[in-house]
C-alpha cells in the first residue's frame, strides 16, 4: 500500500476512534458509571485517613508531624478548611491504642476499594460490551488482588505526599544517613509518584474487564489520555479552588471543602472511564486495520463464560414461565370477555414493541 494511502487510512482510523469513543461515552452512560465510582472512592477516603493518621500516631506520639499533615491537606482543600481538621487529627494522633484505629481503617479501606474495583470492572465490561462471565468467587478474588495492588500504590503515593522536606530531613537525621539522601528523595519522589500512577491505571485497565486484551500496555492510549487529562484537571481544579471557589469555602466552611472533594473525585473517575472507552476503540480500530470483522463487536476472547451460561439458563426459565402465564391467560380470554384495561394493554402493545422503535 502506498505511503500516502496508508497515512490517509491512519487519519481516517484516528477520526473514527475519536468519534466512536464520544458515542460510547454517551451510549454506555459513562456519567452514571463515574458517579458510582465516586461513591466508592468517597467511602475509601475516611477509613484511609484513619489508617494513615493511626499509623503516624504509632511513630509520632507527640503529634509533631501534625503541621506537615495539615500542610499536605492544604494542597487538597482550602488551608482554612484544613485548619478545622487540626483538632480531630490531634486527638487521633494521641490515641491510647492507635493499632486498633489502624486495623479498623485498613479493613474498611480494603472493603471500600474492593467495591471500587468491582464497579470499575463493570464499567470496563460495558466499554468492551461484554457480560461478566467469571463466577462470583473468581471475580471477587481477582478484584481483591487488584485492590491490594491499588492499596500498595496508594500507600506509596501517601508516603510521597506526606514525605515533605521537613519530615524527610528529620528521618534522615534520626537514622544518621548522609544529607544527600534527603536531597535525592525530594527530587526522585515525583518521578516515582508518576510511575506508581501509571502502574495503577494500567492494572485497572488490564485486570478488571472480562476480556483478554492483546497485551499489558503500561502506557496505553487510554491511560495516557486519563493521566494527562487528570493532571490538567487537577491543576485547573486547584486554580479554581484558590480563586473562584474561595468564596464558597468561606461561606460553607468544611462542607464546601467536602463538596469540592466530591467534584474532584468525580472528574478523576470520569476521565478514567473515558480512558477505558478509548482503549477499547483503539483495539477495535487495530483489528479493523488488520482486516478483522470488528465492525459491531470487538473480537477478544473472554476470561470466563461460566456465569454467562447461568444467566442464560435463568433467562430461559423466566421466558418459559412467562410463556406459560400468557398461554393460560389466552385460554381464559377465550371464555371470558376482556376488561377495558386488557384491551388498552393490547392496543399499546400493537403500537410499540419492547426494544423496537414505534411502528409507523
- Does residue 184 surpass a pLDDT of 60? yes
pTM: predicted TM-score of the whole model, two decimal places: 0.78
Using CA atoms, how far apart are residues 50 and 92, in angstroms rounded to an integer? Answer: 8
Question: What is the mean pLDDT of the segment spanning 71-86?
Answer: 60
The confidence score (pLDDT) of residue 33 equals 93
Question: What is the mean pLDDT of the segment spanning 228-232?
Answer: 88
The confidence score (pLDDT) of residue 26 equals 92
The confidence score (pLDDT) of residue 83 equals 64
The confidence score (pLDDT) of residue 249 equals 52
The confidence score (pLDDT) of residue 306 equals 85
The confidence score (pLDDT) of residue 360 equals 44
78, three cell numbers: 482550602
Using CA atoms, how far apart are residues 17 and 10, in angstroms rounded to an integer? Answer: 10
Cα dist from 138 to 32, 122, 134, 144, 280, whole Å: 26, 15, 6, 10, 23
The confidence score (pLDDT) of residue 86 equals 65
Using CA atoms, how far apart are residues 87 and 115, in angstroms rounded to an integer? Answer: 31
Q: How confident is the model at residue 164 (pLDDT cuts 50, 70, 90)?
A: low
Question: What is the mean pLDDT of the segment spanning 228-254?
Answer: 69
DSSP letter at 338? Answer: P
The confidence score (pLDDT) of residue 248 equals 52
The confidence score (pLDDT) of residue 1 equals 46
Residue 17: name the closest of 325, 303, 282, 360 by CA: 282
pLDDT tens for residues 297-356? 888 888 888 888 888 899 999 999 998 888 888 777 777 777 788 777 778 777 765 555
Using CA atoms, how far apart are residues 121 and 207, in angstroms rounded to an integer? Answer: 8
Strand partners, 239: none
Q: How confident is the model at residue 8 (pLDDT cuts 50, 70, 90)?
A: confident
Residue 41: name the closest of 120, 102, 104 by CA: 120
The values of phi and psi at residue 12, to 5°, are -60, -40
Give me the torsion for CA of 201, 203, 206, 210, rounded to 10°: -110
pLDDT tens for residues 106-145? 888 888 888 899 999 999 999 998 888 888 888 888 888 8
- Does residue 245 surpass a pLDDT of 60? no
- Does residue 216 surpass a pLDDT of 50? yes
The confidence score (pLDDT) of residue 269 equals 93
Using CA atoms, how far apart are residues 27 and 127, in angstroms rounded to an integer? Answer: 10
Using CA atoms, how far apart are residues 88 and 95, in angstroms rounded to an integer? Answer: 11
Using CA atoms, how far apart are residues 168 and 183, in angstroms rounded to an integer? Answer: 9
Cα dist from 143 to 114, 149, 351, whole Å: 6, 10, 45
The position carrying cell 511513630 is 59
Using CA atoms, how far apart are residues 345 and 217, in angstroms rounded to an integer? Answer: 53
% of the chain beyond a pLDDT of 70: 75
pLDDT tens for residues 25-43? 999 999 999 999 999 988 8
% of the chain beyond a pLDDT of 90: 16
More reliable by pLDDT, 46 or 238: 46
Question: What is the mean pLDDT of the segment spanning 152-177?
Answer: 72
- 23 and 277 Cβ atoms separated by less than 8 Å: no
Average pLDDT, the chain: 79
The confidence score (pLDDT) of residue 102 equals 80
The confidence score (pLDDT) of residue 359 equals 45
Using CA atoms, how far apart are residues 109 and 47, in angstroms rounded to an integer? Answer: 5
- Which residues lie closer than 8 Å to 112 by C-beta, 6 or more apart? 40, 43, 44, 47
DSSP letter at 178? Answer: -
DSSP letter at 302? Answer: B
Amino acid at each position: 500500500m502506498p505511503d500516502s494511502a496508508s497515512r490517509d487510512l491512519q487519519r481516517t482510523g484516528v477520526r473514527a476512534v475519536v468519534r466512536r469513543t464520544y458515542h460510547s461515552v454517551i451510549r454506555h452512560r459513562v456519567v452514571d458509571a463515574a458517579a458510582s465510582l465516586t461513591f466508592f472512592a468517597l467511602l475509601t477516603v475516611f477509613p484511609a485517613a484513619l489508617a494513615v493518621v493511626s499509623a503516624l500516631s504509632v511513630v509520632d506520639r507527640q503529634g509533631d508531624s501534625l503541621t506537615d499533615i495539615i500542610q499536605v491537606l492544604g494542597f487538597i482543600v482550602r488551608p482554612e478548611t484544613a485548619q478545622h481538621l487540626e483538632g480531630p487529627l490531634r486527638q487521633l494522633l494521641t490515641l491510647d491504642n492507635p493499632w486498633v484505629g489502624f486495623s479498623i481503617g485498613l479493613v474498611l479501606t480494603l472493603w471500600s476499594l474492593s467495591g471500587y474495583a468491582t464497579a470499575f470492572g463493570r464499567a470496563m465490561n460495558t466499554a468492551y460490551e461484554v457480560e461478566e462471565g467469571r463466577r462470583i468467587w473468581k471475580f471477587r478474588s481477582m478484584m481483591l488482588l487488584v485492590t491490594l495492588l491499588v492499596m500498595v500504590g496508594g500507600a506509596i503515593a501517601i508516603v510521597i505526599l506526606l514525605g515533605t522536606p521537613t519530615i524527610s530531613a528529620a528521618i534522615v537525621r534520626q537514622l544518621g544517613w548522609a544529607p544527600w539522601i534527603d536531597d535525592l528523595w525530594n527530587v526522585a519522589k515525583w518521578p516515582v509518584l508518576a510511575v506508581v500512577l501509571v502502574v495503577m491505571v494500567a492494572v485497572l485497565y488490564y485486570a478488571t474487564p472480562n476480556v483478554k486484551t492483546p497485551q499489558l500496555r503500561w502506557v496505553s492510549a487510554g491511560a495516557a489520555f486519563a493521566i494527562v487529562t487528570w493532571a490538567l484537571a487537577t491543576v485547573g481544579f486547584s486554580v479554581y479552588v484558590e480563586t473562584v471557589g474561595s468564596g464558597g469555602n468561606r461561606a460553607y466552611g468544611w462542607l464546601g471543602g467536602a463538596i469540592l472533594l466530591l467534584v474532584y473525585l468525580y472528574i478523576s473517575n470520569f476521565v478514567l472511564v473515558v480512558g477505558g472507552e478509548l482503549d477499547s476503540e483503539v483495539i477495535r480500530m487495530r483489528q479493523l486495520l488488520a482486516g478483522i470483522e470488528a465492525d459491531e463487536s470487538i473480537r477478544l476472547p473472554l476470561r470466563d463464560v461460566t456465569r454467562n451460561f447461568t444467566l442464560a439458563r435463568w433467562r430461559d426459565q423466566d421466558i418459559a414461565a412467562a410463556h406459560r402465564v400468557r398461554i393460560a391467560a389466552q385460554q381464559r380470554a377465550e371464555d371470558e370477555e376482556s376488561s377495558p384495561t386488557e384491551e388498552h394493554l393490547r392496543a399499546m402493545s400493537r403500537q410499540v414493541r419492547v426494544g423496537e422503535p414505534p411502528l409507523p
